[in-house]
Structure 1
Amino acid sequence: MKSIRSIINTNLVGKRVLFIFLLSTLVYIFMISVTIPHVTHYAQGMLLLDMMPMGYDFEYVQALFNSLGKSGRQAYLYRQIPVDMVYPFLFAYSYSLVLAYFLKKLNKLEGPFFYFCLLPFIAGLADYAENFGVVVLLTNHPDFSILSVTITRIFSLIKSCITTIFFLVLIWILILVAFKFINKKK
């Protein structure tokens, strides 16, 4: 915990936080506008596993991978997954800094609120586990197991839940910062 706390505290400079946030956002935009549509093109309208926050089952994964065909599965494995191996780190780092930055504005960073800054790291770890699971599924197609789908789905759900909780906390903190700013102006 101390190492993450010190990394966050060391990097809480407005321009640095903004730069890391913009870099993370650019990678995300690249994924949603280039690599995901490229793979989805092969999927004939089916959603990729990364894009299913409520999870999926064994039959869906089979249908998706069959729909993707060999070229689509290769695009998923060699185009989307490599970019998605960079993004979880950038997401974790940038969003923990963003939250810490605003918590500091509220003088709440040093208390228990700091632990909210760990949520993006937990989501990022779950995203990495999900990605490794997708790699296992893709490389073992069509012989992947129900267990491997279940484990991958669990990490997808953890990622989605933690990310949702994080953004709710972030919105709450941003509202508090806005109120503080408005009250300061009065």
Structure 2
Amino acid sequence: MKQILNTLLKSPVIVLLVILTNSVYLYMLIKTIPEVQAFADQMPLLDMKPKGYDQAYVIELFTKLGEEGRSQYRTKQIPVDMIYPGLFAICYAALMAFLLQGLNLLKGAWRLLILFPIIAGICDYVENFGILRLLDQFPDLSSDTVTWTQYASIGKSAASTVSFILLMILVMINSIRWLREKRSHTYEEPPRKSASDLG
């Protein structure tokens, strides 16, 4: 486990994870989500509702999608979105740990900050399973399923937002520290020559 963590905290690995994670996210934004939304006159999918939704919204969306649209939701969007949460959790938890390590803060309570991307990933998985369950139930939706699925959507959005805010703060602090260190080295006085050196 320690060896895996050490590998993840290397900058080339983190760069690769960031590229891979955002490539999958862009693929969903550009390809799978618009293709599914096209069946519902661009009505936002449940994945894209950060403030949640109620049973009436789910019924309206699934009705507009039609049988083919619901099938596309199940077979095209959800499978890709089953890959993304894991990548998100690993990528941004590793990036946050890397930035904390750069500030010598990867210890004590500070380490708990890396839980936010992990919580976001878990909520995303719960949301996905909830959507699959709702697709199975339609048109006889369970209000309980709608409730915990929308709570998962809200939790995903909240944890993701906190994660990105924390990452931006950590990047800024690391950047300021790096610039200060570089400036101090630049203006560092050259060592004075001793009398023996002059002789």
TM-score with structure 1 setting the length: 0.94
RMSD (Å) for aligned C-alpha atoms: 1.3
Amino acid at match of 1:175: M
- Identity over aligned residues, as a percent? 41
Amino acid at match of 2:68: S
Amino acid at match of 2:18: F
In structure 2, the partner of 1:115 is 112
User: Secondary structure at 1:130's aligned position in 2?
Assistant: helix
CA distance in 2, matches of 1:83, 1:75: 12
Q: Deviations over 1:53-78 (max 9, x none)?
A: 00111100000000100111000000
CA distance in 2, matches of 1:82, 1:157: 21
CA distance in 2, matches of 1:97, 1:107: 15
In structure 2, the partner of 1:41 is 38
Rg (Cα) greater in structure: 2
Decide which of 67, 83, 103 is 1:70's aligned counterpart: 67
Amino acid at match of 2:146: V
Deviation at 1:7, TM superposition (A): 3.9
In structure 1, the partner of 2:88 is 91
CA distance in 2, matches of 1:110, 1:147: 40
Superposed, which structure 2 residues align to 1:20-169 within 5 Å?
20-169=17-166
CA distance in 2, matches of 1:6, 1:55: 39
User: Secondary structure at 2:68's aligned position in 1?
Assistant: helix
Could you tell me whether the CA contact under 8 Å between 2:134 and 2:146 is conserved in 1?
Answer: yes
How many residue pairs were aligned?
Answer: 183
**What stretches of structure 1 of length at least 5 have no aligned partner?**
none
TM-score with structure 2 setting the length: 0.88
**What stretches of structure 2 of length at least 5 have no aligned partner?**
184-199
